[in-house]
Amino acid sequence: MQRRTLLGGLAVSLGGYLAWGEPAWALGGTLPELDQPAPTFALPSLEHRQVNLADYRGQWVVLYFYPKDFTSGCTLEARRFQQDLAQYQERGVQIVGVSADSVDSHAEFCDSEGLKFPLLADTDGAVSRAYGSWLGFISLRHTFIIDPEGVVRARFVKVNPAVHSREVLAKLDELRLG
């Protein structure tokens, strides 16, 4: 059971999953409100192709922000998402990773780890800021579940990379059955 508390009118999570109270604040800023449209974005991916949130309209999206390619926690988190990719695909869910690293860094990271989902280059932090996930020069480890209509349905902060993919799958099942 997650513990939550109100501090100055803001919901603060004492666990990893924020679902209650608006607005919610995390270390990177104000998080998008639940049950509201997700902030739109257009960011370059591999081959420098622009990827828009609207490209995924009609399917569930797991949008995860992470600090840096090739670091231990980020590598573990990406590996876990890749390990569970078939389960996400069976549910019709698209995983999308975002960090401040360059497209070239993402290409090397995807190649070295065998990642089969897009990583987007938010080099100026604009999208990370829109999602309350920016700490000056890196994206923080936050995840958002966005429904097929583009609405934020869940958000995670204080992510444990070793178990996060399983937590997200469980929350997706809860949301889709509810």
Which is nearest to 26 in space by CA: 134, 166, 172?
134
What are the pLDDT digits (tens) for 141-173?
999 999 999 999 999 998 999 999 999 999 999
Mean per-residue pLDDT for 117-133? 96
Query: In percent, how much of the chain has pLDDT > 90?
Result: 78
The phi, psi pair for 3, rounded to 5°, reads: -100, 135
Mean per-residue pLDDT for 107-125? 97
The phi, psi pair for 147, rounded to 5°, reads: -80, 175
Model confidence at 13, pLDDT cuts 50, 70, 90, reads very low
Q: What is this structure's pTM?
A: 0.85
The phi, psi pair for 157, rounded to 5°, reads: -125, 170
> 121 with 45: CB under 8 angstroms?
yes
Q: Pick the catalytic residue: 24, 26, 53, 74?
A: 74
Model confidence at 47, pLDDT cuts 50, 70, 90, reads confident
The CATH number corresponding to 27-177 among 3.40.30.10, 3.40.720.10, 3.20.20.60, 3.40.605.10 equals 3.40.30.10
What are the pLDDT digits (tens) for 50-93?
999 999 999 999 999 999 999 999 999 999 999 999 999 999 99
Q: Is 110 a catalytic residue?
A: no
Model confidence at 28, pLDDT cuts 50, 70, 90, reads low
Which is nearest to 2 in space by CA: 161, 167, 141?
167
